[in-house]
Chains A and B, each alone.
Chain A
Amino acid sequence: MAGSDRRLARRLGRGDKDALAEVYREQKDRLLTLAYRLLADRAAAEDCLQDVFLRLARDAANLRIRGRLGPYLASCVLNRARDELRKGGRAVHVSLSQDHEGPSSGPDPSLAVEELDRSTRIQEALSLLPSEQREVVVLHLNGDLTFRQIGEMQSVSIHTAKSRYRYGIQRLRGLLSRQEEG
């Protein structure tokens, strides 16, 4: 996998647009979801996705990846999201009353509504986590990053990253249980 990703990166470096499209098709939904989980704003998440791919294209000739492209791009999304959150000085928060564009509609409208509701509740609960726990949870589950990679990105040990994940999941569990009871 890493080898094929390095080949893709080399093709990108040569200006191969098919390689760019290939990377985009493989990663777009996962990265958009990751950005959305971090920013809790669909428009901001789309901007983030575009920014990451613009930067990837602009830097393709000097691209250096040590492993797979997926985690690399996920780390770019995280950095971009952090910049956005710092720039806006805003905390991540989403409300059930907020316009929400959840998962695309499936063939069964009732299932789609149910899925949308579940996605919205998850997003709301995520927004209540401390940022470092939210990052670990979504980077691991939506960004496919290992705890070691996340630890490096957060400048903490792998053990701390795992602890943050565990606490994050526990807290999500409590928040979602309260939602269901309420």
Chain B
Amino acid sequence: MRTPEEIERALQSTGIQTTDALDEMILRNAGLALDTALAETKGRPKLARPWKGVVTQRPLRAAVATAVLVSGVFLSVLFVNTPGERHVAWAQVSERMAQVDRLMFRLSAQLPDEARTGDPEAPGALSLGSFALVYFGSADLGARWDLYESGELISSILYPLDGESGIAINHQERTWSRVDPSGDAPVTAGLFPILDPQAWVKRFLERDGNQIGQSSIDGVEVEGLEVIDPPTQFGPGNEAGPRVEGTGRLWVSVGSGLPVRIEIQEGQEGEGVTWTLDFRWGAQVDPGAFESTIPEGYTLVG
């Protein structure tokens, strides 16, 4: 094996296979587990409400605001270990969470067809079928947001703590602008409360939630909390904004006590926007990601 391609082929073509006995054992045991799980979940009501598109006009702002919401929610989550089964305690405040000074999360949204008909020329609007927003936050380095559509990087906002202002980069138009956290530019308006997400925590937990037991996300054991009126996505201080009807679920790792995922289904499945936010706490962050470096050839605007 002399070339990288040969090594790749060798890795892909060699492997091990299950035995019939192993197949039989796993399918039998997994089948029993499936029966047991189904019996346990029967009778638990599905919570969902009809909802008309709240975020169809400004999905980017909504995405950002929802991201703020989610990170805020988790500041009041603390886990405890009991001698028996481990559970998450939901009423504790942020003391433990504050010890984690680095956070990365990915927000992705699936919009129904209805949402795509929004005016793409409206301020702050992006008429996308689906998109993802990735946030890197670091107590010592700053914050960065990257917006992707279909895997393509559309725009980035960097806000280093050691600078007086951040920068916003539009990769499609190859332009950039300065970002003032006190300003009210459409793209940035909803961003900066994420640096103080306590208000979001409070708002989420003010709702009557149901504990929905334990589950697993990507192999991580989690415990969930469900509300039928997840907080609106328009940020702290905007209580006048419309309330979302639907289902919001917060999943927290039983092992680490840190949030793993939040899911918000607005309205019925397939009708409203579906938000998924995945969290990585204490993530390794490349300090270079927070440097305000303007890509070559980009033009300053604004």
Taking the nearest CB of chain B, how far is it from the CB of A23, in angstroms?
10
B17 touches A61 (CB 8 A): no
> Is B182 at the interface (CB under 8 A from chain A)?
no
- Binary flags per residue of B32-47, CB closer than 8 Å to A gives 1, else 0: 0111111001000000
> Is B83 at the interface (CB under 8 A from chain A)?
no
Closest A-chain residue to B34, C-beta based? A57
Q: Determine which of A54, A61, A156 lies in contact with B30 in the assembled complex, contact meaning CB atoms within 8 Å.
A: A54
Q: Determine which of B1, B25, B41, B218 lies in contact with A72 in the assembled complex, contact meaning CB atoms within 8 Å.
A: B218
A66 touches B37 (CB 8 A): no
A55 touches B283 (CB 8 A): no
| Interface residue stretch chosen among B6-14, B195-203, B237-245 | B6-14
A155 touches B263 (CB 8 A): no
Closest B-chain residue to A35, C-beta based? B16
What secondary structure prevails in chain B residues at the interface with A?
Answer: mixed
Q: Which residues of B contact A36 (CB under 8 A)?
A: 15-16
- Binary flags per residue of A18-56, CB closer than 8 Å to B gives 1, else 0: 001100100011101100100000100110011011111
Q: Determine which of A32, A62, A122 lies in contact with B18 in the assembled complex, contact meaning CB atoms within 8 Å.
A: A32
Within 8 A of B (CB), among A141-178: 141-142, 148, 152-157, 160, 169-170, 172-173, 176-177
B104 touches A21 (CB 8 A): no
> Is B91 at the interface (CB under 8 A from chain A)?
no
Total inter-chain residue pairs, C-beta < 8 Å: 155
B7 touches A176 (CB 8 A): yes
Q: Which residues of B contact A66 (CB under 8 A)?
A: 108, 276
Q: Which residues of A contact B33 (CB under 8 A)?
A: 54, 57-58
Closest B-chain residue to A120, C-beta based? B14
> Is A17 at the interface (CB under 8 A from chain B)?
yes
Q: Determine which of A21, A119, A148 lies in contact with B15 in the assembled complex, contact meaning CB atoms within 8 Å.
A: A119
Q: Determine which of B8, B30, B224, B278 lies in contact with A141 in the assembled complex, contact meaning CB atoms within 8 Å.
A: B8
What secondary structure prevails in chain A residues at the interface with B?
Answer: helix
* Interface size grouping (class) on chain A: 35 or more
Within 8 A of B (CB), among A61-92: 61-62, 64, 66, 72, 75-80, 83
B-side residues, CB < 8 A to A, are: 1-4, 7-8, 10-12, 14-18, 22-23, 25-27, 29-31, 33-38, 41, 104, 106, 108, 151, 212, 215-220, 224, 261, 263, 276, 278, 280, 283-284, 286, 289
A-side residues, CB < 8 A to B, are: 12, 14-15, 17, 20-21, 24, 28-30, 32-33, 36, 42, 45-46, 49-50, 52-62, 64, 66, 72, 75-80, 83, 101-104, 115, 118-119, 122, 137-138, 141-142, 148, 152-157, 160, 169-170, 172-173, 176-177, 180
